[in-house]
Amino acid sequence: MDRAFFAYLSRVARAAIAGAMAHGLRADNKASGGYDPVTEADRAAERALRHAIETAYPDHGIWGEEYGAVRNDAALRWSLDPVDGTRALLCGLPSWAVLVGLVANGAHVAGMIDLPALDETLLGIDGVTTRNGKATRTSGCATLAEARLSTTDPFLFADAAPFDRVRKAVRLIRYGLDAMAYARVATGHLDLVIESGLKPHDYDALVAVVRDAGGVIGNWTGGGDLSGGDVVAAASRPLYDEAVSLLAE
């Protein structure tokens, strides 16, 4: 897999989203209770991504938020979140992203966080994370006392106490950034992200971007299995370990 193909996926998703937005954004609610919006931009982007992948790699599996899975037993599987942060998109905020992850036999081998509103693409592949083609690294922050923390919505935690312990230990905190927060860990502008309740399409693209920039991404108990949806992304191993110790108290 090469960087040029991910650049192509960025272009086709952006074009599909722009085309849908030109006709106006109308949100449907996917949730039976509460509010989980989806727009034609989400659907159009996923259709475009699927077509591009199916054409280039017809034997690969694909799992997407809007249209489900095909060839889920394939050794190589693409994970798609065509618009991560649909709420931000509907509110005219720039934090929404196109997420594309590549998973090989369960290992996250590549990931893209594309931020169309900022004309910015982060790609983690072959041990290097780039931002618009230039290598980028985390801040290397090693202590909570110096850390800049983010979570998308603190009210989504089933139990807010663990997050609150970390929140009180850090230097500053920002909310509502969706996948852009993980991009900012990779570029050194944030140091720590803590979230819960994530699905594979939410995190599959993030792993390689954070890891290949020198960061650590794992669960709340110190392991690498993200399937439970509790995710911590940190600028360094010491910072990750310190955050996990407070989450586990």
66 shares its domain with 119: yes
171 shares its domain with 69: no
Reported as a single tens digit per residue, the pLDDT across 76-129 is: 999 999 999 999 999 999 999 999 999 999 999 999 999 999 999 999 999 999
107 shares its domain with 30: yes
For the chain, the 3-state helix, strand and coil shares in percent, each to the nearest 5, are 35, 25, 35
Report d(CA 176, CA 116) in Å as an integer.
17
104 shares its domain with 180: no
pTM beyond cutoff 0.75:
yes
Q: Residue 25 has what pLDDT? A: 84
32 shares its domain with 129: yes
Domain carrying residue 41: 3-135
Residue 213 sits in a domain of what CATH number? Answer: 3.40.190.80
Q: How many CB atoms lie within 10 A of CB 67?
A: 15
Query: Is residue 1's pLDDT more than 80?
Result: no
The tokens for 197 are: 């309740």
